[in-house]
Amino acid sequence: MSAAQSIEGLISPLLGGGALPLRIRGWDGSEAGPPSAPVLQISSRQALRRLLWRPNELGLAQAYITGEIDVPGGASELAAGLRDVWALAQDGMARPTLSAAEKARAALVALRLGAVGPPLPAPASQARVEGTTHSVERDRRVISHHYDLSNDFYSLFMDSSMAYSCAWYEDDDATLAQAQVAKLDMICRKLELQPGMRLLDVGCGWGSLVLHAAEHFGVRALGVTLSHEQQAYATQQIAERGLTGTVEVRLQDYRALDNAPFDAVASIEMGEHVGEANYARYVDVLWRHLLPGRRLLLQQMSRRADAAPGGGPFIEHYIAPDMHMRPLPETVSLLAAAGFCVEQQQPMGEHYVRTVADWLDAFESRYDEVVAMIGEEQARVWRLYLVGGGLSFEDGRMGVDQITAVRP
């Protein structure tokens, strides 16, 4: 029996004995499965060994990241394959575990294929962070793992605003750059910004909001971030745009903020990173730094009640360790418990589908540059991240909302 046929026999029980949504291509050139389905290329026996030890999402991700498995055709074919597999799981046809008899059979097949051996080491790109979860030092390391790859890398797929959050597409023909400006304008309007007001942005990224608010709404603004790369970029932009003395971006943990209250406070897709145990403290920081009668704008990712709080094993090990998303009603309840009066909740999930699609298109069009800059393994991490993230929003497992609240 060929490698592809043997592997097909291993996978089929996990799919309830149904037809494979993928065409398997083995390292020996053999193929099995529907001719028209996306191809899953298994280039090495090590992929099977990895999956024997980790027969789950993390094992599959590690095998893809190392190139032990691949989906020829780039991001579009990868998305098609993942979409088909997820559809089977939703229909209840996929099972997360094998029976004892199936495990024994799998071990025999793996032995015959030469795939048995000790656990393989995790890929070098896997996050390795130590320390107490959500301590200041560990949070710095987690943020650095994701955001300090380099500003040049992020500029390969983001628009010129360097806004790394969900955009707002006002019409079908809007570009990513136009949609990010529309999102920044919408935030500033919801905050009712006026010239001379003071704005605080907690988790300001590359400074897109504080720069936009200062230039177009005449405010003075402070942003804080834990990323050295983000702070360096924002500081350079402040100088180049003539905003020195009007805008400041600090390398500072949100817990260390001790400024007088501001006229407006924003926090854009940062609350997911503070942790479940720290969320009340995070909301208290937002409360204490906002003047009574003024507005808070919180843009935050949420999850469906049955989805993994951290986004799943791949996200938690490679992209955002320690992340915790909650269903939207829980976030609203925490804001209300702190004393905020929640005025509006605006869902943006469909806009994130388009945002990620635009990022992915740019990423794929410059894939060779990405590989030259961060290496093949990291490039595959990011391709899988962008494809999987887009599918999560498309399917509704994850969402994002703008929450506008007032401190009475």
- Residue 93's pLDDT is 44
Residue 94, number of CB atoms within 10 A of its CB = 17
Domain residue ranges in the chain: 3-112, 136-406
**Two tokens at 258?**
């001790």
Decide which of 3.40.50.150, 2.40.340.10, 2.30.42.10, 3.40.50.12780 is the CATH code for 136-406. Answer: 3.40.50.150
Lowest-confidence pick of 98-102, 203-207, 307-311: 98-102
Cα dihedral sign for 213, 214, 220, 226? positive
SS3 113: coil
More confident residue, 259 or 100: 259
Beta-carbon contacts of 392 under 8 Å, excluding residues fewer than 6 positions away, are: 307, 311, 398
- Per-residue pLDDT tens for 351-369? 999 999 999 999 999 999 9
Span 282-288, mean pLDDT?
A: 97
CB 86 within 8 A of CB 395: yes
- Residue 288's pLDDT is 97
Burial 200-211 (b: 16+ CB within 10 A, else e): bbbbbbbbbbbb
CA distance 299 to 178: 19
Q: Residue 88 pLDDT > 70, yes or no?
A: no
- Per-residue pLDDT tens for 56-81? 788 889 999 999 999 888 888 888 88
CB 77 within 8 A of CB 39: yes
Q: Residue 91 pLDDT > 60, yes or no?
A: no
Residue 130, number of CB atoms within 10 A of its CB = 7
- Residue 92's pLDDT is 44
- Per-residue pLDDT tens for 122-146? 999 999 989 999 999 999 999 999 9
- Per-residue pLDDT tens for 369-403? 999 999 999 999 999 999 999 999 998 999 999 99
Beta-carbon contacts of 174 under 8 Å, excluding residues fewer than 6 positions away, are: 182
